[in-house]
Structure 1
């Protein structure tokens, strides 16, 4: 196992760097990229790829471009951050690298695939949401290498889930799992199963989702300790599932566990994500004093330039703040919070995140007595995420309220109006500011 010989491998890599063996240093560093990826060792990846790239004597090659891309992604330069000054120059360089790599007819080695998907997301940002899976991923998905096909299917599933194209996601998730089972890859299965669990949650199969998360956790334990970020994101998946199952005590325990993991870590965005989940949960429980305290602290601790997942945290905090304002009888404050959340969600270019804002905008419409508009926005939220969400407690409550106010047939028609929108129009429908227009037209 690499873990057993890791220190010796790093010693060999250090020697190649110290002796100016540029090809050897780059080759060995690239061979380690998937080990670093699997265990979330981003600091190791950034440090050693940086040292290998700094060795003089290596000319431009596809391998060097791959190493450079993975180095930047692990260092954090390619995360979505405000494009100003030096950052804008860095982002321009990354996008130039993305264009060059993704246009390459065949990237070398498994690390070529590791570089391709994150860069494809960056390309998608620049095309104003017109998402096209890169050709390299398409070729690998249909190729003869079963492991690479599984990996490409997983990447494509993540890509299409982010784009609200869940019919394609479902197909690729099952294909990826089949490939990883065929080659006996525990890591690939542990990465894919949580995505299937999310699909099962949407479909109403909470027992199946629970089984998937349990299997993913068991498989992950077989290949080593996960990174802090991967562990906390895993905690958030479990929190979401148990909220949907109504397991209040388990949710509280999971939140406490996530907080303990982050106690001494330099991970402000991760802490704020946990704060946001807890605040939203406390609002549902009616524990408003604690929710207010969390939200006020989070507002003070969230700097403008916090990198990924900063805008995800801003979105979740904004929607939690909106829910708090509605519970305290302040719809104007709720709308203001949702305007902030909507702007952050747009920056993520993550349609399921934008769907969350649409659901909370539906809650505001419902509180204002705009039940038809609430139903339309629930449909628009489903269009954005790519499917109906049959187990989210808030969606359930809003559906019941709007159906009771409108009648079953009128609710179904209004919901269908939102569901039948295209993504761009659904995103516009999610804008909280549109409710002011709707109130005037009432």
Structure 2
């Protein structure tokens, strides 16, 4: 297949290249072959016109897949093939956030969201459903919910069982990011797992179990989350999806740490880092971040800093604001632990600003609040006149910024509790309650401006 792709590109045979790329896209995703997919989608899309450049027009509904017939194809099917190949390329530019936030990048996102609708048959299928990630990058969760609801209804109306399972699994993943939505996410994941099981799609079952595990975890149901992650990991291993298996190992390790089985959880994180050596997938940065948090929380701050240094080296060149917010915020937390108030405050301010990225609202909606809590602890530690009062306001703003029904992790619960106790001790009960209430009326931006 690689030879066929090379020949198609060398011969400038756009249609053959599009057919191969669209046929391989799902396999590349399952095996996490990011570099390969990035190269071939770039080469294939450069053979023809850019369907999202210049004035765009809404895509018409197409019941036929672009790969249902061999090339040559024509008319609207060819136009759709070009759009879908560009969507595949878009999917592997997810780390280039600075470009996406530029005027050119924003124009591109608007072109994609202006071309597709949630009730299009091709938007229910892969890779057409990648258009949802253009909406994700805007951070508009309400619109995202509306669109996925429409796609679910469209799949049911058209009798698309596999596509329905896929959209339900996608929606479950989105809902799992917030405690108040997670129960609905479990319902979606249950139906997706049932459909994928009936259709004999082991990969789909694994993805559905993973989404359900995340929802259970968000609700603090760690035993249920662990069971789902274990089963999903077994399925991923059986299919040879080793990258996905490692990601699931990291998620299971985090659940074990939350349950108090810290020794086993920590060992699994080290094993995941070793297994992923020489590869580039999301398991490594997540494992390093969880490990850094665990090390810092058990007074091994030098080791925690070493993990953050390695994380920065491995993530060099990636432009994801919320991820940089996480790493800088973790450094600020370590500074607080080591009583380096001024350094902690400077880093917490930077981390809070980065956490306001729209993508963070989707993936980690509580991140901005966490950074404000770290800034509050740094202020109390510094101890200048007025610092404790500002700290109490930051705590109030942090609580107000949390998503409805948010359930703290063990680390967050400890960090929030210590921040509140320190500020209250510095101010006294009455003054603390007054400043805290005032902070509750501030946005994250307004609270950050106090610093």
Same fold (TM over 0.5): yes
Structure 1 residue aligned with 2:21 = 29
Q: Report how far residue 223 of structure 1 moved.
A: 1.9
RMSD of aligned C-alpha atoms? 4.2
Q: Please give the residue correspondences for 1:149-160 in structure 2 after superposition, counting only pairs within 5 Å.
A: 149-160=164-175
Contact preservation (8 Å) 1:202, 1:387:
no
Is structure 2 residue 349 aligned with structure 1 residue 339? yes
Determine the C-alpha separation between the residues in 2 that align with 1:213 and 1:266.
21
Structure 1 residue aligned with 2:210 = 194
Q: Report how far residue 96 of structure 1 moved.
A: 1.8
Contact preservation (8 Å) 2:169, 2:189:
yes
Is structure 2 residue 165 aligned with structure 1 residue 147? no
Distance 1:178 1:375, change over 3 A: farther
1:246-298 deviation digits (Å, cap 9, x = unpaired): 2232233233223324443467x875554433322221101123334444666
Distance 1:88 1:363, change over 3 A: closer
Contact preservation (8 Å) 2:132, 2:144:
no
Q: Secondary structure at the match of 1:346?
A: coil
Structure 2 residue aligned with 1:356 = 367
Q: Report how far residue 89 of structure 1 moved.
A: 3.7
Determine the C-alpha separation between the residues in 2 that align with 1:354 and 1:382.
7
Contact preservation (8 Å) 1:359, 1:377:
no
Structure 2 residue aligned with 1:287 = 300
Distance 1:95 1:406, change over 3 A: same
Unaligned runs of 5+ in 1: 1-8, 437-442
Contact preservation (8 Å) 1:53, 1:68:
yes
Unaligned runs of 5+ in 2: 49-71, 381-387
Determine the C-alpha separation between the residues in 1 that align with 2:124 and 2:302.
54
Determine the C-alpha separation between the residues in 2 that align with 1:366 and 1:79.
31
1:94-117 deviation digits (Å, cap 9, x = unpaired): 542342234784327833444232
Contact preservation (8 Å) 1:157, 1:169:
yes
Structure 2 residue aligned with 1:322 = 332
Q: Which of 207, 219, 225 in structure 2 is aligned with 1:209?
A: 225
Contact preservation (8 Å) 1:101, 1:107:
no
Structure 2 residue aligned with 1:62 = 80
Determine the C-alpha separation between the residues in 2 that align with 1:109 and 1:24.
24
Structure 2 residue aligned with 1:3 = none
Structure 1 residue aligned with 2:376 = 365
Distance 1:133 1:31, change over 3 A: farther
Is structure 2 residue 195 aligned with structure 1 residue 182? no
Contact preservation (8 Å) 2:373, 2:416:
yes
Determine the C-alpha separation between the residues in 2 that align with 1:324 and 1:377.
22
Contact preservation (8 Å) 1:133, 1:159:
no
